[in-house]
Structure 1
Amino acid sequence: MPTGKVKWFDADKGFGFLASDDGGEVFLHASALPAGMESVSPGTRMEFGVADGRRGPSALSATVLERTPSVAKNTRMPAQRMAVINEDLIKLLDDISGGLQRGKYPDRAHGKKIATILRTVADNLDV
């Protein structure tokens, strides 16, 4: 079975192209992706069957051989460090909770610290 890498894939349009290892280009429709998979990232290695379509070779029943590594996953903080940051965040949120219940927001400097920590936690969890 031929193999290749995803050149590009547009999930909204439902198709993309594979760069076959033999040098050719193969059309990849969303219906050829594995069940439950709606999109693939550029650079993902795939194995696929090929059929001649109206506009050239088309991939049939493609399977993922290896996924492209996630840059975000490789650069996020270790879990132990995130645990410490989460504990600090809980303490900070606890501190401002009483004031918020009385209708008072924290001062600008304190609010900025909390916002920075919230963004850090969100960035590391959302990969």
Structure 2
Amino acid sequence: MPSGKVRWFDANRGFGFITGDEGQDVFLPASALPAGISTVRKGARVDFSVAEGRKGPQALDLKLVGSTPSIVKATRPAPDDMAAIVEDLIKLLDSAGNGLRRHHYPAPAESKKLATLLRAVADDFDVPA
């Protein structure tokens, strides 16, 4: 049974590609995924069967061997740094809250900056399991 890594997979389009350990590219249709799994991450190690499809080799009966570690998890800030970031964000939110209590939304540029910061901090907290 050949093995390789998922090169990419798009659940919305329903397919992707695997790069086999020998270097060949293999088409990966969503129908080849194990029951109950609707997507696989880039870099996930897989074993699969191969059949000749209309446009070349096609994976069948995919088995997940393991997945790559999360890039988000590997690049998130240290807890001490994150504490400082959260404290600074609290100050910014407190300032925005004071303005809102006086019935004034922050200026558009300030609102955009605050929204961007909130999303970035949220991304650092939201780490896939």
Output the TM-score relative to the length of structure 1: 0.68
Secondary structure at the residue paired with 1:27?
Answer: strand
Match of 2:18 in 1: 18
Match of 2:77 in 1: 77
Match of 1:9 in 2: 9
Secondary structure at the residue paired with 1:104?
Answer: coil
| Percent identity (aligned) | 56
Secondary structure at the residue paired with 1:99?
Answer: helix
Matches within 5 A, 1:1-127: 1-105=1-105, 114=114, 117-126=117-126
How far has the Cα of 1:100 moved from its partner? Answer: 0.8
**Contact kept? 1:85, 1:117, Cα under 8 Å:** no
C-alpha spacing 1:49/1:111, structure 2 compared with 1 (3 Å)? closer
* Structure 1 stretches lacking a partner, 5+ long: none
CA distances 1:34-69 after superposition (whole Å, capped 9, x unpaired): 334333344322111233444443222212223234
How far has the Cα of 1:76 moved from its partner? Answer: 1.5
Q: Distance in 2 between matches of 1:105 and 1:20?
A: 54
* Structure 2 stretches lacking a partner, 5+ long: none
Output the TM-score relative to the length of structure 2: 0.67
CA distances 1:56-106 after superposition (whole Å, capped 9, x unpaired): 432222122232343333221123432343244334423432331221345
C-alpha spacing 1:77/1:17, structure 2 compared with 1 (3 Å)? same
Secondary structure at the residue paired with 1:46?
Answer: strand
Superposed CA RMSD in Å reads: 3.3
C-alpha spacing 1:28/1:80, structure 2 compared with 1 (3 Å)? same
Q: Distance in 2 between matches of 1:48 and 1:107?
A: 55
Q: In the comparison of the two structures, how many residue pairs are matched?
A: 127
